[in-house]
Amino acid sequence: MDSSTIIIGIIMVALCSLPFILSGSNRTKNEGKIKNSIFELAQKNNTTILQNDFWFKSAIGINTNSNELFFYRKIKDIETSEIIQLAEYQKCKVVKLNDNSNHIELLQIVLVPNSSNKAETVLEIYNAEFSPQLNNEVKIIEKWSKLINDSINTSTKIKKAV
């Protein structure tokens, strides 16, 4: 009787833990696909990514030497990939929209171009409509807005010096 109880207990624990194990392996597989996608984007542009971050179905990377920003996102089978020449922009700003309860609904990095006839470039970091909960996106947007502005300012100083 004791051995049958132990066997049933082991089977129940295995069955209960199976969804968590499968979910973790799916998450790891999806992160791998996102990483590959952004690195392939850089490789097609004959450059490398020196710094990067990955979060919910999204990735961002930068090559500070060539002043290029890479962005990749796949939401609901819609892929967005962008290669942005930071020399064409004067600054980046963070857009944060809250709902009536002061919960974050949208986080975006908006790149303001040097030329007035070029539209702003918007990189959506978080959208409550597609992502179930906010994780590290606030830290990511703060980090990347600073990194992008630093890169833009560095390239502006180099242009002025030349």
Residue 24: beta bridge partners? none
Look at residue 121 in the predicted model and tell me its pLDDT: 92
Q: How far apart are CA 125 and CA 73, in angstroms?
A: 9
Assign domain 2-161 one CATH number from 1.10.287, 1.20.120, 2.30.29, 2.60.120: 2.30.29
pLDDT at 11 > cutoff 70: yes
Pairing of strands 68-75, 58-63: antiparallel
The residue-averaged pLDDT of 99-121 equals: 89
pLDDT digits (tens, 9 = 90+) for 81-103: 899 999 999 999 999 988 888 88
Look at residue 38 in the predicted model and tell me its pLDDT: 87
Domain edges within the chain: 2-161
pLDDT digits (tens, 9 = 90+) for 139-161: 999 999 999 999 998 765 555 54
Look at residue 39 in the predicted model and tell me its pLDDT: 87
pLDDT digits (tens, 9 = 90+) for 47-73: 889 999 988 888 999 998 889 999 999
Residue position matching structure tokens 């020399």: 87
In angstroms, the Cα distances linking 94 to 8, 10, 118, 146, 158 are 54, 50, 19, 10, 25
Chain center to CA of 18: 29
Residues 30/22, Cβ–Cβ less than 8 Å: no
Residues 6 or more apart whose Cβ sits within 8 Å of residue 57: 30, 34, 73, 74, 75, 130
How confident is the prediction for the chain on average, in pLDDT? Answer: 84
Nearest to 58 by CA among 70, 47, 74, 46: 74
Look at residue 1 in the predicted model and tell me its pLDDT: 56
User: What pTM, to 2 d.p., does this model score?
Assistant: 0.77
Instruction: Tell me how crowded residue 121 is: count the other CB atoms within 10 A of its CB.
Output: 17
pLDDT digits (tens, 9 = 90+) for 22-33: 666 556 666 777
